[in-house]
Amino acid sequence: MAAPAERMKVMRERRRQAGLREVRLVLPDARSEAVRARIAAQVAKLNPEVEREALDWIEAVSEFDNDESR
């Protein structure tokens, strides 16, 4: 059997041939206390009125709100 690196290379090439592209995401680790503290500090600075306006807008434009076809 081929080495893992070679198998990955073959798999990526198959995906490219199928018109797919690999995308990698690097995200903050929510398990980290430092990250959680940083997020909590940012949330504490939010203006509730502005956030309510944003949530109201999201609900108003959501395709799933008031969907009576279900």
Average confidence (pLDDT) per 10 residues, the chain, 70 residues: 89 95 93 97 95 92 64
In a domain, 67, yes or no: no
Provide the pLDDT for residue 63: 74
Helical segments of 1-70, H only: 4-17, 33-44, 48-61
- Give how many domains the chain has, as a whole number: 1
Question: Quick check: is 45 in a domain?
Answer: yes
Residue 20 maps to a domain: yes
pLDDT at 2: 81
Q: Which of 28, 24, 25 is nearest to 12 (CA)?
A: 24
Residue 18 lies in a domain: yes
